[in-house]
Amino acid sequence: MPALLALENPPELVALGGQPDAVPPHLERIAERAHPPTNAGWTLVGIPRAAADARVDLIHAPAYTAPFWSPAPVVLTIHDISYERNPEWYPYRRDWLRRAFYRRSARAADQILTCSWFSASEIADMYAIGPERLTVVPLGVSGAFASARQGPPCELPAAVTAPFLLHVGDLHERRNLGTAVNAMLEARRHFGALPAMSLVLVGTDRGTGDALCSLAADAGAPEAVVRLGRVDETVLHALYRSATAFVYPSRYEGFGFPVLEAMASGTPVIAARAASIPELTGDAAILLDPDDDRGWTEAVIRVATDEELRRDLGTRGVARAALFTWARTARATMDVYQRCLANTAERRKRTVERRA
């Protein structure tokens, strides 16, 4: 939002409903009228009514769900469709209903934004969306990561000691973190008497954390996996700056935000050659098959023992991350808004001419 408002000709933004304390103080909030007390009720009834009250020119629905009808054209953001490709990762009782809602939202939207060419191809294939309705707008990374890299060292959490590998992101089945644990354990055996390496996990546990800790415990090294949960930004910067390497063996990512943060922090990245990750990293990371256990172990050992390699990966990562700015994201998003409004005006013009 700040990047949109910083454009030379920024849009006028209003919030349609939502909790008052969740709306930024500088943003006008349009109170929602009565609607069924569910997310579907808000999306299908509350948003269209609030949009009509506000007389908005366009609605941007930023996360997967959008009105099926609206008084204004709708731009919908979809980051990935892992829930469609791998529904076994989301074994919720009513997940089929959520998937149907997402699918219908995508087909109803006038324009769809997504953050990678990988996700664009997935959405086009799964939802039969034509290229004229689908735009890739990569996300940006905060300049705070570069500032933290250049600032004074920050203290690490008490549970974390160097050397350590770092993973940031929810502990979820699709993240394939068993590969990272096994590589770290094999590296520990390789180093022998040298200071023991650990794997530090930052993020909400979505059901795999205990199994990852059990892998380490079964290997006789329960201290080798450190779960921190969510951390504040200062701690996150300190962890990125201090890690031997950032590891990301994920099988499916629409973008891979933590990879971008790690590169911006100058942290060497070892990641999966899968989904959107290669287009995000370019040549600034070591990319491996997510199931290549031996390759992951060898990469961890190389990065841990080769200072020149760490420095090279860090330098390339910083340069790569510099391409992903929120200003660029805002400009591309504004272009989509304008194109969507122009298309809507043209359709209305043709409708009037047909009726004349």
Tell me the average pLDDT of the chain.
92
Structure confidence at residue 337 (pLDDT): 96
Looking at residue 44, its amino acid is: L
Same-domain check for residues 122 and 160: no
Looking at residue 331, its amino acid is: R
Same-domain check for residues 133 and 182: no
Return the CATH number at 330: 3.40.50.2000
Is the distance from CB of 51 to CB of 59 less than 8 angstroms? Answer: yes
Structure confidence at residue 148 (pLDDT): 77
pLDDT, one tens digit per residue, over 280-310 is 999 999 999 999 999 999 999 999 999 999 9
pLDDT, one tens digit per residue, over 251-276 is 999 999 999 999 999 999 999 999 99
pLDDT, one tens digit per residue, over 229-251 is 999 999 999 999 999 999 999 99
pLDDT, one tens digit per residue, over 132-158 is 999 999 999 998 988 777 777 778 999
Structure confidence at residue 193 (pLDDT): 64
Structure confidence at residue 353 (pLDDT): 66
Same-domain check for residues 97 and 235: no
Tell me the CA distances in angstroms from 65 to 99, 130, 339, one per residue in order: 10, 19, 21
94 has a pLDDT exceeding 70? no
248 membership: H or E segment, kind and range? strand 245-248
Same-domain check for residues 38 and 123: yes
Enclosing domain of residue 261: 144-321
Structure confidence at residue 195 (pLDDT): 77
Show the tokens assigned to 351. Answer: 């409708």
Tell me the CA end-to-end span of the chain in Å, nearest whole number: 41
201 has a pLDDT exceeding 80? yes
Count structural domains, the chain: 2
